[in-house]
A and B are shown apart, each in its own frame.
Chain A
Amino acid sequence: MNYFLTEEQQMIKDLAAKIAVEKAVPLVAELDEKEEFPWEVMKTLASSDLFGVYLPEEYGGFGGGVFELCLVTEELSKVCCGMGVCYAASALGTLPILLFGNDAQKQKYLPDIAAGKKLAAFGLTEANAGSDAGAVATTAVRDGESYVLNGTKQWITNAGEAEVYTVIALTDKSKGIRGASVFIVEKDTPGFTFGKKEKKMGIRCSATRELIFQDCRIPKENIIGREGMGFIVAMKTLDRARPGVASQGVGLAQGALDHATRYSRERVQFGQAISSFQAIQHMLADMAAQTEAARALTYAAARMIDSGDDNISREAAMSKLFATDVCMRVTTDAVQIFGGYGYMREYPVEKMMRDAKILQIYEGTNQIQRNVIGLALIKESAKKK
């Protein structure tokens, strides 16, 4: 389908595809097996300027937006969703600075992030605060010129690898989530350490670890926005990042579909290629139609966000929900088309099905996305009356 990309967008997509095919593909299976961070691919993305596609030119970026971010994420995820998330999670960690940071903070952090010299990460989730983000218990207490952080963030993507962390902590416990604020914490700050690397089902080349804060003292200038703005910052960040997760789903689904289509033409049973069976053709047709629909919705949501519209929660949630549910189905069907071979690690679709599952869980489970959409529908309907 033609999405009428501009010349620049096409260039970004082509470059990302080239990196995915030439640099990433040879490493995919090995890094999954070894659970090793894809630094080589990240460095190539950096030297090709792709970490800056969504950042303003004045901070060393390319001046694009969420749409450009989605294009790169999709191409990477076509070959490895784990690499896709390493890239996209850095953007997630950067968005609070981009959206709510002051000029000094932007000047200080964005150019290195745009150049890919530093990765970022986003720390919201805790052991007792998953879907219920309002239950965060990490605290930040003002002490003179500093804030002192205490608490533990759980399952943070890029933890240990990133240099810049945006972290949600309570500055006023008595107000609950209305007393939350967001802080920039740099790696190697005393009192800031990482938990062990989690062993995961999928996206195994990505790093998922705890952020542990023990009397971690950071300059008071590192607060993003004002005290108490934390929840708003986190929610607006997630709204803008969701099409990024959707494009992981679109890319991964497309990759699985491509493998399944190719395989179906090669595999012979009953004296003919299995692609000659209508049962297989129909499965491929459904996979293709759903993937394309997911892509169209994702691109539309991303473009809506880039247009400057502020009322985007519902569309962002729809893209994440739809594209990741599609991705789970499509990767499962790809394994089905591969038959027993699809279940084996020597073939790529086994990993793809493992990778797909996380997309329905992180950055808000798909149940939470439905809550967001449902609430928006009801609000809108109530307004009309």
Chain B
Amino acid sequence: MNIIVCIKQVPDTGSVKIDPTTNTLIRSGVPSIINPFDLNAVEAGLSLKDEYGGRVNVITMGPPQAEEALRNTIAMGADNACLLSDRAFAGADTLATSYTLSMAVKKIGDFDLILCGKQAIDGDTAQVGPELAEILGIPQVTNVSKLIEVKETTIVVEKELEDGCEIVEVERPCLLTVTKQVNNPRIPSLKNSMRAKKAEIPVWKAADIDADEARIGLKGSATQVVKIFEPLKRTDSRILQGDVDEMMTELVGELRKRV
């Protein structure tokens, strides 16, 4: 089974702050990590490979530093990785990103399965996976929490819904986005870590993937972020203390005042 995994390098959660004057993320000094759900996608690819054979190819679009993230996936056991990096890709929204990824997937060619994390923890849109499937014209299942069975031409998976689970059988080639429930990402091995250190990671520019200039980067983006801001912290909240009956009376009184 030939598998392509799309990953994203993101700033480590918890350490990101927003600059109140420019309303942009303060990225300097914040360590980068692989988007946690993407680690589950890599693990899903590797465990399918362990069971059914094949190859796992990891791709990411990002700045040159994103190469580090790709090396980490090779250390986990991925066979190949390539970096889509070009100034022309800068400023891409989810639409331009998924178009760019789709062109890389076409260049790689032969594949049975594309795996993505369910969403990136920085943008939180959960759009790139579904858009990529649409552009490629292949079926998709999002929020996959379990890989159940690989059949001759299909794969059976469990998908998380808000209030339950759904079991879906889907034709391959297809695209799955996975949640944390799907597996526990493995720790790298020493042998693969050594391989990762030495691995050649090709860098593909727009021209290498025959990308249409009008559909990549800022130009190819249908949306634009106007402003990012932290929601205002409410300062008028109060914690009631004391006897339950007293607190109830006070609470009801407060609520009455406001209606």
Residues of A within 8 A of B189 (CB): 47-49
Question: Which of the candidate stretches A16-24, A217-225, A338-346 sits at the interface with the other chain?
Answer: A16-24
Q: How far is the CA of A19 from the CA of B193 in the complex (A)?
A: 14
Contact between B187 and A23, CB atoms less than 8 A apart = yes
Q: How far is the CA of A49 from the CA of B193 in the complex (A)?
A: 10
Q: How far is the CA of A23 from the CA of B184 in the complex (A)?
A: 11
Residues of B within 8 A of A12 (CB): 190
Q: How far is the CA of A44 from the CA of B187 in the complex (A)?
A: 7
Q: How far is the CA of A11 from the CA of B193 in the complex (A)?
A: 8
Contact between A15 and B187, CB atoms less than 8 A apart = yes
Any chain B CB within 8 A of the CB of A8?
Answer: yes
Any chain A CB within 8 A of the CB of B151?
Answer: no
Any chain B CB within 8 A of the CB of A7?
Answer: yes
Contact of A11 among B186, B187, B194 (CB under 8 A): B194
Any chain A CB within 8 A of the CB of B197?
Answer: yes
Residues of B within 8 A of A7 (CB): 197
Any chain A CB within 8 A of the CB of B188?
Answer: yes
Any chain A CB within 8 A of the CB of B257?
Answer: no
Counting chain A CB atoms within 10 Å of each CB, the highest count among B189, B190, B197 belongs to B190
Nearest residue (CB) in B for A11 is: B193
Any chain B CB within 8 A of the CB of A62?
Answer: yes
Contact between A48 and B188, CB atoms less than 8 A apart = yes
Contact between B190 and A18, CB atoms less than 8 A apart = no
Q: How far is the CA of A47 from the CA of B77 in the complex (A)?
A: 11
Any chain B CB within 8 A of the CB of A53?
Answer: yes
Which A residues, 1 to 60, have Cβ-Cβ distances below 8 Å to chain B? 7-8, 11-12, 15, 18-19, 22-23, 44, 47-50, 52-53
Any chain A CB within 8 A of the CB of B227?
Answer: no
Contact between A15 and B188, CB atoms less than 8 A apart = yes
Residues of A within 8 A of B197 (CB): 7, 11
Residues of A within 8 A of B193 (CB): 11, 15
Residues of B within 8 A of A44 (CB): 187
Residues of A within 8 A of B194 (CB): 8, 11
What secondary structure prevails in chain B residues at the interface with A?
helix
Q: How far is the CA of A62 from the CA of B187 in the complex (A)?
A: 18
Q: How far is the CA of A158 from the CA of B193 in the complex (A)?
A: 29
Q: How far is the CA of A19 from the CA of B187 in the complex (A)?
A: 7
Q: How far is the CA of A22 from the CA of B191 in the complex (A)?
A: 20
Interface string of B188-225 (1 = CB under 8 A from A): 11110110010000000000000000000000000000
Nearest Cβ on chain A to B22's Cβ, whole angstroms = 33
Residues of A within 8 A of B191 (CB): 49
Q: How far is the CA of A12 from the CA of B194 in the complex (A)?
A: 10
Q: How far is the CA of A53 from the CA of B191 in the complex (A)?
A: 11
Nearest residue (CB) in B for A45 is: B187
Residues of A within 8 A of B188 (CB): 15, 18, 48
Nearest Cβ on chain B to A117's Cβ, whole angstroms = 14
Residues of B within 8 A of A11 (CB): 190, 193-194, 197
Counting chain A CB atoms within 10 Å of each CB, the highest count among B187, B191, B193, B194 belongs to B187
Residues of B within 8 A of A15 (CB): 187-188, 190, 193
Nearest residue (CB) in A for B185 is: A22
Nearest Cβ on chain B to A115's Cβ, whole angstroms = 11
Nearest residue (CB) in B for A53 is: B190
Residues of B within 8 A of A23 (CB): 187
Besides the contacts A15-B193, A50-B190, A52-B190, what 14 more A-B pairs have beta carbons closer than 8 Å? A7-B197, A11-B190, A11-B193, A18-B188, A19-B187, A23-B187, A47-B189, A48-B187, A48-B188, A48-B190, A49-B189, A49-B191, A53-B190, A62-B190
User: B interface vs A, CB < 8 Å?
Assistant: 186-191, 193-194, 197
Please, could you name 21 A-B residue pairs with CB atoms under 8 Å apart, sorted by A? Answer: A7-B197, A11-B190, A11-B193, A11-B197, A15-B187, A15-B188, A15-B190, A18-B187, A19-B187, A23-B187, A44-B187, A47-B186, A47-B189, A48-B187, A48-B189, A48-B190, A49-B189, A49-B190, A50-B190, A52-B190, A53-B190
